[in-house]
Structure formats: structure tokens, C-alpha cells
């Protein structure tokens, strides 16, 4: 058995509630509401000053460039005295094209035929004038693989979107990528993954999911590995 060469912890948080109400948000760029800020601060233990004693001491903060993610990422980096947040376009939400900004109920009706086909064929989901789902998947998984380059002991915070999480979490769990509906990923959903790298490659495990409503585990808690 090859010795483990690196341990990397990755905390992933979906953005909180954005402005605009019940609409589909891909590349449109609304700000967080006050409630959205509160959700994210609470999920990370940063809703008080000083921070919750068990808030992780992140070594790096990575974020989608969209404001509902990047504004919070910059806040965390400043709060934890990090040089800056790494704003990376690879972590953006899928480009929904003509669907972007559509009321959710209308979108569910308009997009239903594509999602029905998607259950059998990953290539079937192609938002009109938007980003094919397969391209989106490849973009996200390529960015995920780049986390392996961080130093041993790194503890990353990734601030991103629900669609991105519906690629990462099923990938790590070995679920079909078009069968993520059972995963509950609300605003400010907070999850932790652990990467182990050895000569044989990388292994990832999910330590917890959607912990926003629960006490934060200690940052070095690797129970259940």
C-alpha cells in the first residue's frame, strides 16, 4: 500500500439567498440579500466577532467570480487575514443562456423535456444559447482536480453554486451525475470533503454535508474516513 503523501481538506459552501426572488440564476449576477449574508456567516461560524471558536482556519479561499459568491469570499479572506481570495471563473454556475433569469415555475415547464432526456443522456441538456451540460461538467471536474496541487495540510474554502455542487458531490460519492435530485443543497449549504493523495492517485471522501444548521465540527475532524 502506498503511503499517503498529502491530506487536503476542502470546505464547500453554496452562496446564500440572492436578490431577485424565485428565479433561475446562472450567469446573471445579483447581490446577496441581507438574509443571504446572514445565512453564509452563520454556516461558517462568522456571524459574531470574534468568530466561532471552531470556525476553520482556512489556508486558502477560492470563489466563483459572481457577486453572490465572490463578495463573501473576499469578506472571509479579509476576516482571516489571508492575502486575497482566489477568484476563478471555472467555479461559475452553468450558463443557462435564454433560461437565465426566468421565473422558476416557468423554467420548470420550459426545460422539462430536456431534463427528461437528461436522465438517460448527459448530452441532452443544452440550454438554448447557453453552456452544454457536458462542457459544464468537464469545466468543474477539471477545476476540482487542480485542488490536488495545494500543499499538504491545506484547508480550502470554496464558495460556489448549487449546480457546481451537483457535479462535485455525486462525483465524490460515485453517484450518477444525472441523478443528484436526492441531494438537498439549500442556500448556504456547507459541506466538507477530504482529499488523500498517494502514489496510486487521489481519493476523496465526504465528511459531512449541509451542516449549516448544526455545530461546526473541529477543522481537523476526519472521523468516518
Instruction: Give a yes or no: residue 223 inside a domain.
Output: no
Q: What is the CATH number of the domain that holds 61?
A: 3.40.50.1240
DSSP 8-state class, residue 121:
-
The rounded distance, in Å, linking the Cα atoms of 175 and 58 is 28
pLDDT digits (tens, 9 = 90+) for 15-40: 999 999 999 999 999 999 999 999 99
Global model pTM greater than 0.95: no
Instruction: Give a yes or no: residue 135 inside a domain.
Output: yes
Best CA proximity match to 93, nearest among 161, 36, 183, 17: 161
Instruction: Give a yes or no: residue 91 inside a domain.
Output: yes
Cell of residue 55, nine digits: 470556525
Element at 8 (helix H, strand E):
strand 4-14
pLDDT digits (tens, 9 = 90+) for 72-111: 999 999 999 998 999 999 999 999 999 999 999 999 999 9
Instruction: Give a yes or no: residue 154 inside a domain.
Output: yes
SS3 assignment, position 49: coil
Q: What share of the chain is helix, strand, coil (3-state, %, to 5)?
A: 35, 20, 45
How many distinct structural domains can be found in the chain? 1
Q: So what's the pLDDT on residue 221? A: 38
pLDDT band at 150 (very low <50, low <70, confident <90, very high): very high
Lookup result for grid cell 461560524 = 45
SS3 assignment, position 115: helix
Using CA atoms of 38, 39, 41, 42 in order, give the dihedral in degrees to the nearest 10.
Answer: 110
CA distances from 107 to 24, 39, 136, 141, 156 (A): 7, 26, 19, 26, 34
Query: What is the span of the domain harbouring residue 72?
Result: 4-208
Instruction: Give a yes or no: residue 217 inside a domain.
Output: no
Instruction: Give a yes or no: residue 57 inside a domain.
Output: yes
DSSP secondary structure, 131-162, as one string: --HHHHHHHHHHHHHHGGGSPTT-EEEEEE-H
Instruction: Give a yes or no: residue 52 inside a domain.
Output: yes
Lookup result for grid cell 487542480 = 146
Instruction: Give a yes or no: residue 219 inside a domain.
Output: no
Amino acid at each position: 500500500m502506498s503511503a499517503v503523501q498529502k491530506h487536503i481538506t476542502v470546505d464547500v459552501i453554496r452562496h446564500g439567498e440572492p436578490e431577485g426572488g424565485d428565479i433561475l440564476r446562472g450567469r446573471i449576477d445579483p447581490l446577496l440579500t441581507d438574509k443571504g449574508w446572514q445565512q453564509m456567516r452563520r454556516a461558517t461560524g462568522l456571524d459574531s466577532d470574534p468568530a466561532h471558536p471552531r470556525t476553520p482556519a482556512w489556508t486558502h479561499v477560492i470563489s466563483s467570480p459572481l457577486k453572490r459568491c465572490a463578495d463573501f469570499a473576499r469578506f472571509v479572506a479579509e476576516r482571516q487575514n489571508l492575502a486575497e481570495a482566489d477568484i476563478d471563473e471555472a467555479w461559475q454556475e452553468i450558463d443557462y443562456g435564454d433560461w437565465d433569469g426566468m421565473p422558476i415555475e416557468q423554467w420548470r415547464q420550459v426545460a422539462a423535456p430536456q431534463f427528461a432526456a437528461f436522465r438517460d443522456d448527459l448530452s441532452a441538456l443544452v440550454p438554448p444559447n447557453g453552456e452544454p451540460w457536458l462542457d459544464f461538467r468537464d469545466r468543474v471536474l477539471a477545476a476540482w482536480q487542480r485542488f490536488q496541487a495545494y500543499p499538504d495540510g491545506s484547508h480550502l474554502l470554496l464558495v460556489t453554486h448549487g449546480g457546481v455542487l451537483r457535479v462535485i458531490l455525486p462525483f465524490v460519492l460515485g453517484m450518477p451525475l444525472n441523478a443528484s435530485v436526492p441531494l438537498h443543497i439549500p442556500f448556504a449549504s456547507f459541506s466538507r470533503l477530504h482529499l488523500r493523495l498517494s502514489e496510486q492517485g487521489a481519493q476523496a471522501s465526504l465528511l459531512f454535508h449541509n451542516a449549516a444548521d448544526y455545530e461546526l465540527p473541529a477543522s481537523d475532524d476526519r472521523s468516518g474516513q
